[in-house]
Chain A
Amino acid sequence: MTSPGSVAVLGPGPVGALLARLASTNGCRVAWWAGERPPEVERPARKRGARGAVRACEGVVSTLQPEEALADAELVFLAVPAGELPGLMLRVGAGLTPDRLVVHAAKGLDGPGGRRPSEMIELESAARRVGALAGPYLVAEVLEGYATTLVLASRFDEVQSAVREALASEGVRVQATHDLLGVELASAAAVALGAAAGLCAGLKLGVGARAALLARGLAEATRVGTALGAKAETFGGPAGVADLLVTAGDPDGLGFRFGRRVGAGEPAAKVRAEVGERTEAVRALEGLRGLAGRARIPAPTLGTLCEALLDGADAAAVLDRCLRGPAQD
């Protein structure tokens, strides 16, 4: 039996710590499962090169097992990257019963199949009242009290109001929408294009070329999204354009750094192997390309980025062709 005001956060990273802290500050009873390692109270978070510290609040109960954290939680946050979500779902799927409101903070897609995080959740559990947390936020900035906008997408008003109650505060605005599909695809596009921005930086392509490339990439993602049933305005909102401004403008971002190394001439496969599982940008890009194919929407820019970042093509050559060739439409 769930009880109101009871929140579980599953996820070891700074996002998990942030959500636990915000919910606890708002008066919720919070249980936080921070992964296999014994939860540390201090976890590093990045902020423009400097390292801030995320400290979970005192009211937060840390648990050793995810099931323990779930217990009677009515609202459950899954704060892991999209690539780690399937593993987490295999572990806790049975416990995510339909009486719980389940919200993920995974920006990205599950590889070439283009499966969205909410689809992974619905596939592996009986939870139906599902939502996605997205938007242009950096953990360190939220903690320092900068004005923040979070986007909460769910088909269910119940989920929207529960998340507002748990997270919204004077400094944190929670903007809600029903367009779950749109928000998930828009934030995947922002993550994917963050790597594109890095690629441009590595290739030293110039600010104008980078902006043109990103705009084209986002336009293609928007077309794919609307073909699948998302709203176009979602891509132009905080979960899309605004988040893209963050990922493309944050040189410390994982995706950005990955793209920059490839652009600077390191072989894509080698960089991917080094960065390992955490290249959400790569998976998101693959996923968007897969969805474009399925929706039969031409996406030449996303295709070019895939060639450069995934398929091992000569990044300089393919991007040059993409940017200098005649306009396609």
Chain B
Amino acid sequence: MRPEESRSVVEEVVRRVQADTLTACRGARPGALESLINDAVYHENERLKRSHDRSREAKAERSFWRSAQHRLQHASEVDLIALLGDITRFHSEEIVGKFDPAVYRFTISTIPWIFTVALNTASPRRMLADLPRLPRIQHNLRIQGELDLVRKMDDLGTILLVPTHSSHLDSVTVGWSAFDVGLPPMTYGAGLNLFTNPVLSFFMHNLGSYRVDRKKKHELYKDVLKTYATVTLERGYDNLFFPGGTRSRNGAIERHLKLGLLGTGLTAFVNNLRRDKPKPNVYVIPCCVSYHLVLEAETLIEDYLKEEGKSRYIIEDDEASSPRKWWKFIRNLWQLHSEIVITYSRPLDPFGNPVDEEGRSLDRRGRTVDPRQFVLRHGDPAHDVQRDAEYTKDLGQAVVESYLRDNTALTTHVLATALLGLLRVRTGQSDVYRLLRLVRPAESFRLREQVYPVVTAVLEGVRRRAAAGRMRAADEIARADAEAVTARALSHFATYHQEPVAVRLGADVVVCNKNLVLYYHGRISGYGLDDEAAAAAAAAMGGGQS
């Protein structure tokens, strides 16, 4: 977005939020506007009191909110409206990203190289000598799915890309994949904490992202954020955001999506219809990212298992904030010829219907449907908050179903599921928390008699489901046998993490980090594979209990 355009976007966001807020407040009880602003001022001042940030930006924020508090006292209706405008503008300007197409082209071209440099930071001489043979990100990213459809949708309307979220690395990998598929730069909301990591910050600033501060919890901020996404969509900027809201804590595919941002596609669509825009359609494209190893797995699963951790929505001190960890992770990626699989699902309309290659919505019987008809009231396209919230629930459901169908099982997920099945039988517990308490340190299983049969059962389960279109299996899973899959998974598990997930010791496999077993199993949970693994484990351990 060029600077003059982002100025006009800010103006439009301010105008709309102001108008919508005033309409809503006038329809509500008296004093609604004052209490809305009061809420914002209170939350911001409280947040800033707790913050230790002493940067210039933080100082400016403090002074703004203190003055807002002052102005709020004895404010007349006119003062309140002016204050509402100032707060909205303050937030909008903070959110809007600084994007420059020239810098985008430069940055995107550096992604393959910056990783290459990372690989060789220790030895510049080797880097120069190896230059022609160095691996590129292209070798480690496998981009698959409905790519032709996705490109077509970009011509036919505006795209809302909604990937799964398991790591901060997603912002870079998905950003790159979108470029590789041939999509224009994406506008996307990135958590403010991503801007603190110097590596990520570089990408964030230059790949078209705008800043989302998830610590700001008051309604007015959320309204500004949603309106910003809506306005950019209406102006034809493709958007990207993670509808899970936060990184999956237990490794599983997200089932409960944040519907607020997801609904912006529908709002933009209705606005486009009302203005008779030539290409009014908004296409929602789910996208599932699978990793052999996840950069921040240890912190995420620990957070998941902690009772109080469940409310820790924003983690600032994890692996992703340490550049050293990043290098280690990326180096592993290459040394193991590891793949990150990114699957683009079939595009959906804002109501959750699939669309065909012409961008037309289809009903469940494959008949084309005019999407306008969903939002008509007495013949005209109209907004209806309650109706649109229901439609967005349907869309959320359709997105989750796409995730599940296009989730790719990798070797580490299969082995972790098999190991969890074995642990389940050994401890006699199926409840996760109790199971983890009962697992002894360095629990070991016989490779040939116990691990292979269970891995075989899980592999067969995955293949069966993949054949039925319920999930996807990576090539290595579709072809290899239990022995090869186990060996490959163990080679991943042995590296990168502080403590290996599991290692092979002679004829045994030893579980070193049970939490990570749970984490990596999480990716293919919810398909009923757990029961199959437990049944196979019970059969394998019945005779060969060590």
Residues of A within 8 A of B (CB): 1-4, 74, 93-94, 97-99, 122-126, 128-129, 155-158
Contact = CB atoms under 8 A, between A and B. Distances in A.
Interface in B364-382: 364-365, 367, 369-371, 373-374, 376-379
Given A123-B364, A126-B363, A158-B384, A98 B373 contact: yes
A99 B364 contact: no
B387 interface: yes
Given A123-B364, A126-B363, A126-B364, 7 more contacts: A1-B379, A2-B378, A2-B379, A98-B369, A99-B374, A122-B364, A124-B365
B379 A3 contact: yes
B387 to A, nearest CB: 5
15 contacts: A1-B379, A2-B379, A74-B378, A94-B367, A97-B369, A97-B370, A98-B370, A99-B373, A124-B364, A124-B365, A126-B367, A128-B374, A157-B384, A157-B387, A158-B384
A93 B366 CA distance: 12
Contacts of A129: 387
Nearest to A99: B373
A156 B387 contact: yes
Interface residues of B, number: 21
- Which one of A1, A124, A128 has the greatest number of beta carbons of chain B within 10 Å? A128
Contacts of B365: 93, 123-124
B390 A156 contact: yes
Interface of B: 351, 353, 363-365, 367, 369-371, 373-374, 376-379, 384, 386-387, 390-391, 394
A181 to B, nearest CB: 13
Which of B363, B371, B378 has the most chain A CB atoms inside 10 A of its CB?
A: B363
B390 A2 contact: no
A1 B374 CA distance: 12
Contacts of B379: 1-3
A115 to B, nearest CB: 13
A74 B377 CA distance: 9
Contacts of B364: 122-124, 126
B387 A158 contact: yes
A99 B371 CA distance: 9
A128 B384 CA distance: 15
A2 B387 CA distance: 18
Interface centre among A93, A99, A124 (most CB of B within 10 A): A99
B376 A99 contact: yes
A4 B378 contact: yes
Nearest to B364: A123
A158 B365 CA distance: 25
A170 B369 CA distance: 39
A3 to B, nearest CB: 7
Given A93-B365, A97-B369, A2 B351 contact: no
A150 B245 CA distance: 41
A3 B378 contact: yes
A158 B377 contact: yes
A5 to B, nearest CB: 9
